[in-house]
């Protein structure tokens, strides 16, 4: 039986929910499941925006047939070729042989990679600002490279003023029949999952997300229809403001995220004692054990808070394994502008403080506060003064009493954008032999932006 919902009189949600998936992309736990959204628009022409993951293929095909109500399918717009949205594209195109595939040039190349078929004979390749008339309405296509893959685009539809936003503005969690964000307590119940989704899926690509937000500002948008989660028809500015902060790497809250690794509880004891002292100084803290809490939650919390404390034993002369994994994950997501304090433990050769610093120091705008607190096996009573000093230094920084580091921040690097795939490279200058890591084009294909 179909399970579809009207987004607007002529737009139908034809996606599906998967509550049995345990790890999205094989790495992100989704205890509340995930939705794969697709939308069917009926005008003089009919358009399907995206397909779905193979897990929900059956209901998707039923939904599409139901929404078409006997009409033929004219167009299939593919915003993103990742298989959570395109695994059923091949099957869909076989079921609807008259449908024209509408996509970016890079998407078309990826269809050949995924399906081992040449679909160019039935494809309409579109680029930035191209338009497609459907009769009474018009579609306009905008490229959104690296939000989340290089081939990504979004579509603005003129009739209902809907933006089909691809992965942008998605959220983890099945929607279970509640299509609109205002049908649930989105900011109470889903914002944490929206942050975890953004930071882990797209967080590395802040400048590219900023570029999309800038394009959106020029549009009159009433509906935002993402590929995961809820459709936004009210109060979208609030969600857009979150994206603006996250993609600028600006913290949402002044407070401290403490992440600790602990083998026998002694490093955790030091971290918890520091947390208690920060609380006594009026500082909000959250604390995670990196061996227990999934890395994706810690990455999201690191994006949320202004100050971060990492506490780790020294292990095999390195950083404890689960802590190293989290720190590399944070660095891979390009987190910036955070103030960091470190606690190290080592029974004979403590070194994790220096090693953690080396992993985090390259991140743009990173500042360190206080001296590294060194524990030898376990925190001693005589070290309380040292711990108080660290708590004072962190609290002063959180409260803004410490000197503002922004005054001494290095000048921002230039940004160069690949005119073919949209990849943005930040550097003082672009070397003549530079090659785009996404599409392989040379420096002559790059333009300086902003």
Residues at the site binding ligand FEO, with contacts judged by CB under 6 A: 80, 82, 84-85, 148, 167, 227-228
Nearer to ligand FEO, 84 or 344 (CB): 84
Number of CB atoms found within 10 A of residue 273's CB: 16
Nearer to ligand FEO, 85 or 233 (CB): 85
* Residue that has been written with the tokens 């070397």 in this structure: 431
* Residue 264: partners with Cβ closer than 8 Å, 6 or more residues away: none
Q: How far is the C-alpha of 123 from the C-alpha of 61, rounded, in Å? A: 21
Burial 385-417 (b: 16+ CB within 10 A, else e): ebbeebbebbbbbbeeeeeeeeeeeeeeeebbb
Nearer to ligand FEO, 83 or 159 (CB): 83
Nearer to ligand FEO, 195 or 228 (CB): 228
Nearer to ligand FEO, 80 or 196 (CB): 80
Closest distance of CB 171 from ligand FEO, Å: 11
Q: What are phi and psi of 226, to 5 degrees?
A: -85, 175
Closest distance of CB 234 from ligand FEO, Å: 24
Closest distance of CB 267 from ligand FEO, Å: 36
Closest distance of CB 226 from ligand FEO, Å: 9
DSSP 235: S
Closest distance of CB 161 from ligand FEO, Å: 23
Could you give the C-alpha distances from 49 to 14, 164, 252, 442, in angstroms and in order?
A: 9, 8, 33, 33
Q: How far is the C-alpha of 100 from the C-alpha of 102, rounded, in Å? A: 6
Q: Which residue is nearest to ligand FEO (CB)?
A: 82
CA torsion sign, 115 to 117 to 122 to 127? positive
Nearer to ligand FEO, 29 or 372 (CB): 29
Q: Exposed, middle or buried, 218 (CB in 10 Å: 0-12/13-18/19+)? A: exposed
SS3 at position 418? strand
Closest distance of CB 121 from ligand FEO, Å: 27
Q: Give long-range contacts, CB 8 A cutoff, 24+ apart: 40-43.
A: 40/11, 40/12, 40/14, 40/64, 40/67, 40/68, 41/10, 41/11, 41/134, 41/137, 41/157, 42/10, 42/11, 42/12, 42/67, 42/68, 42/71, 43/10, 43/134, 43/135, 43/136, 43/137, 43/159
Question: CA nearest 155: which of 167, 171, 143?
Answer: 143
Nearer to ligand FEO, 9 or 26 (CB): 26
Q: What are phi and psi of 175, to 5 degrees?
A: -95, -15
Closest distance of CB 173 from ligand FEO, Å: 13
Closest distance of CB 439 from ligand FEO, Å: 18
Closest distance of CB 7 from ligand FEO, Å: 18
Closest distance of CB 260 from ligand FEO, Å: 32
Kindly calculate the radius of gyration of the chain based on its CA atoms and give it in whole angstroms: 24
């Amino acid at each position: 039986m179909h399970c579809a919902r009207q987004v607007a009189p002529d737009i139908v949600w034809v996606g599906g929910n998967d509550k049995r998936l345990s790890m999205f992309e094989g790495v992100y736990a989704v205890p509340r499941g995930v939705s794969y959204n697709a939308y069917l628009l009926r005008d003089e022409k009919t358009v399907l925006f995206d397909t779905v993951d193979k897990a929900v293929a059956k209901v998707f095909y039923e939904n599409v047939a139901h929404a078409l109500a006997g009409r033929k399918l004219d167009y299939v717009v593919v915003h993103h070729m990742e298989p959570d949205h395109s695994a059923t594209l091949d099957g869909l195109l076989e079921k609807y042989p008259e449908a024209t595939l509408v996509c970016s040039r890079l998407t078309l190349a990826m269809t050949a990679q995924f399906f081992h078929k040449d679909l160019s004979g039935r494809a309409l390749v579109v680029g930035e600002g191209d338009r497609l008339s459907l009769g009474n309405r018009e579609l306009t296509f905008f490229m959104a490279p690296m939000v989340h893959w290089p081939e990504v685009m979004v579509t603005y539809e003129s009739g209902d003023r809907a933006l089909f936003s691809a992965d942008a503005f998605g959220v983890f969690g099945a929607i279970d029949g509640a299509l609109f964000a205002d049908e649930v307590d989105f900011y109470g119940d889903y914002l944490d999952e929206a942050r975890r989704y953004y930071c882990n899926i797209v967080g590395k690509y802040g400048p590219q997300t900023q570029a999309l937000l800038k394009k959106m500002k020029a549009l009159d948008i009433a509906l935002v229809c993402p590929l995961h989660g809820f459709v936004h028809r009210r109060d979208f500015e609030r969600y857009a403001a979150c994206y603006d902060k996250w993609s600028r790497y600006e913290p949402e809250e002044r407070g401290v995220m403490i992440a600790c690794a602990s083998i026998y509880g002694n490093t955790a004891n030091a971290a918890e004692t520091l947390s208690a002292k920060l609380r006594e100084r009026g500082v909000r803290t959250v604390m995670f054990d990196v061996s227990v809490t999934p890395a994706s939650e810690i990455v999201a919390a690191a994006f949320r808070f202004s100050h971060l404390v990492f506490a780790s034993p020294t292990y095999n002369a390195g950083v404890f394994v689960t802590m190293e994994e989290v720190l590399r994950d944070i660095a891979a997501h390009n987190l910036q502008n955070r103030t960091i304090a470190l606690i190290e433990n080592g029974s004979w050769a403590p070194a994790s403080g220096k090693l953690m610093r080396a992993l985090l120091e390259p991140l743009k705008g990173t500042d360190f506060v206080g001296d590294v607190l060194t524990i030898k096996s376990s925190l001693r009573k005589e070290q309380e003064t040292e711990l108080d000093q660290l708590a004072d230094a962190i609290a002063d920084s959180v409260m803004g009493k410490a000197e503002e580091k922004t005054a001494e921040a290095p000048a921002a690097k230039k940004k160069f954008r690949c005119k073919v795939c949209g990849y943005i490279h930040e550097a003082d200058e672009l070397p003549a032999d530079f090659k785009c890591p996404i599409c392989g084009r040379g420096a002559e294909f790059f333009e300086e932006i902003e």
